[in-house]
Structure 1
Amino acid sequence: MTSVLCAGVAVIDFVLSIDEMPRRAEKYRAKDAAIVGGGCAANSAVAVARLGGEAFLASRLGADAVGDMIIADIEAEGVDCRLARRFEGNRSSFSSILVDRNGERQIVNFRDETLDRDASWLEQAELPDFDVALADTRWPEGAEALMRVARLRGKPAIMDVEAPVEIAMSALKTATHLAFSEQGLREFSGKADVVSGLYHALDAAPDAFICVTQGEDGVSWIEGSDVRHEPGFQVAVADTLGAGDIWHGAFALALGEGRAEIEAMRFANAAAAIKCTRFGGRSGAPKRAEVEEFLRERS
């Protein structure tokens, strides 16, 4: 079984479905609601597990009730949380999320900035065998440590490059693969358009594979000195929450299975598209058979 070690943030999301985003300070009534696990690394780990991989999560949590909910939810998905550290006197992260009728989202997140950021233990621990490493920018120290370990083991070291980017520059310089969001690429490069941003990223990391996810428009990447593009799949969107994280988990798993980047990106596009048709954040992450059937129908 292909294994993926993810490092980064894990949260609980309180998701409310509404027609339009609020514009005034008054009461609103939700049409639907869900309490689901969230966080870039945690979502990616769940995606890996649902797609048939072995997933490990390294994260930092408070020793509180929210942390209990986070761990219970992730472990119920089959993710190994032995590397999720709990800290007494700290609070775990959670988010309030509004999703409108078009599936677009607005997120208000709380995180305890006093949580211990040290990640030296991650390099010193007896880490499980893994085929690929994936980290987000929310825990820069953990990302850098994991990228170094993956490099030493000769494994793909993937960074999910979402804003804020500057705080995770050391991890980005160590990664073998940089998978940007559009916002992350703009912040990293200072360029407004994707093509210029990708070339800037190539100059900064000439030895890394560099791509940018573009939502329903798919993904663009650098191949040699050219920018190439793989279109996204057109689906009826119910909720985009977590789609990018699902993409990164699927991409990492496919790379760990030995697929080429172009094949891994198409596989990830399909997994993210399926998720977008379902309300409730990562609870809509697809199973392996669903993705394979989805791709067969569109081959």
Structure 2
Amino acid sequence: MPQPSTGTLLFVGCATFDSIALVQDYPAADSRTVAADFVTAGGGPAATAAVAAARAGARTAFAGVLGTDEEGDRIISGLEAEGVDTSAVIRDASVKTGASVIVVSKATESRAIVTRPVPPVSFPSGSRFHELLDTAAWVHADHLGWNAVAGVPGLTLSVDAGNPIPSFSPRGVTLYVPTVERLRAEYGEDLAVEALLRKAVDDGASAVVATAGSEGAWVLADDGEAVHVPATPANIVSTLGAGDVYHGALLAAVAAGLPLGEAAAFAGRTAAASCAGLDGRSMIPHQTITPVLASNNPA
């Protein structure tokens, strides 16, 4: 893995504006349901990861495409309030900002999402995005940001591969972070997790962290053994955005120099804490990254 860095972590991809309601049971047709809570908040994999990294003390920037509408304004103000550099965001009057209505059910511990798609993520040559791309210590891309960074030489690259990415290859990816489910879809349902990780390294990733929700995560660097990192117990109000928080905290920890296993444990604790909030961001802790004891995390 690269040496510790205090440079900018650039997050590229999706930002949304979310309206989230907490209910006991999902509403029936033609009904009126009283919510136990209702919040609005910024969301999106890359944008929420940037917030998580910022709250862990990293210098962060976000690059994506927003409309010139109210939702875009609120996304920008929310990111800037967290100290995230938004100078590379494209505001396009011809598109609408990504937005979602999310209903979280206490009875089923699940959620239903109605979403307005995020505009395609692309940046004109000579834009502020390319300036940041040239100087960033790390670049993190989600499924929508991948095409903007794929094939760019010299990047220290982290990829959130929880969602499908067409034509994706982990070759050249410094830190590849899929779900175990995604690895099984790619390499075979019958393989053990360690074998799945090694397949990803064989395909060119330098290091892999595969997440599995309540089962924790498995990590594998190119020169090490596969290690299981248990999940952190959580007081769950909603798991919305927890995976995105995990990605941001993981990258902040890796960039700060933590070994991969310790970084995964730090990310797991951070994501677990975020689940105490209805939205994906309000309960992300403000924290300082320090190594955990080897006895607690043998990686």
Fold-level similarity (TM above 0.5): yes
Correspondence for 2:30: 26
Correspondence for 1:244: 243
Aligned positions, number: 285
Correspondence for 2:86: 81
Correspondence for 1:158: 158
Correspondence for 2:3: none
Matched letter for residue 173 of structure 1: R
With over 3 angstroms needed to count, the CA separation of the structure-2 counterparts of 1:192 and 1:273, relative to structure 1, is farther
Matched letter for residue 108 of structure 1: V
Of Structure 1 and Structure 2, which has the larger fraction of its residues in strand?
1
Q: In the TM superposition, what whole-angstrom CA distance separates every residue of 1:8-63 from its partner, at most 9, and x where no partner exists? A: 101101111012345x4332332111100000010011111111111100111122
Q: In the TM superposition, what whole-angstrom CA distance separates every residue of 1:209-260 from its partner, at most 9, and x where no partner exists? A: 1121111221012355853211011122111111111111111111111221
Q: CA deviation at 1:190?
A: 4.5
Q: How large is the Cα RMSD of the aligned pairs?
A: 2.8
Correspondence for 1:139: 145
Correspondence for 1:263: 262
Matched, 1:16 2:15: no
Q: In the TM superposition, what whole-angstrom CA distance separates every residue of 1:270-293 from its partner, at most 9, and x where no partner exists? A: 11111112222212211105x869
Q: CA deviation at 1:192?
A: 6.1
Correspondence for 1:68: 73
1 CA distance for matches of 2:254 and 2:92? 33
Identify the match of residue 182 of structure 2 among 181, 184, 193: 184
Q: Provide structure 2 residue ranges, at least 5 long, that are not aligned to the other structure.
A: 1-5
Correspondence for 1:212: 210
With over 3 angstroms needed to count, the CA separation of the structure-2 counterparts of 1:210 and 1:112, relative to structure 1, is closer
Q: CA deviation at 1:89?
A: 1.3
Residue pair 1:118, 1:141 contacting (<8 A) in 2 also:
no
Of Structure 1 and Structure 2, which has the larger fraction of its residues in helix?
1
1 CA distance for matches of 2:249 and 2:121? 29
Larger deviation, residues 118-127 vs 77-86: 118-127
1 CA distance for matches of 2:224 and 2:58? 33
With over 3 angstroms needed to count, the CA separation of the structure-2 counterparts of 1:69 and 1:190, relative to structure 1, is farther
Q: In the TM superposition, what whole-angstrom CA distance separates every residue of 1:78-124 from its partner, at most 9, and x where no partner exists? A: 110001111121111011112222653322221155x4635655698
Q: Provide structure 1 residue ranges, at least 5 long, that are not aligned to the other structure.
A: none
Correspondence for 1:221: 219
Using structure 2 for the length normalisation, give the TM-score.
Answer: 0.84
With over 3 angstroms needed to count, the CA separation of the structure-2 counterparts of 1:278 and 1:159, relative to structure 1, is same
1 CA distance for matches of 2:269 and 2:121? 37
What stretches of structure 1 move > 6 A for 4+ residues in a row? Answer: none
Matched letter for residue 58 of structure 2: G
Residue pair 2:121, 2:145 contacting (<8 A) in 1 also:
no
2 CA distance for matches of 1:179 and 1:124? 23
Q: For residue 64 of structure 2, give the secondary structure of its aligned residue in structure 1.
A: strand
2 CA distance for matches of 1:116 and 1:279? 27
Correspondence for 1:46: 51
Q: For residue 265 of structure 2, give the secondary structure of its aligned residue in structure 1.
A: helix
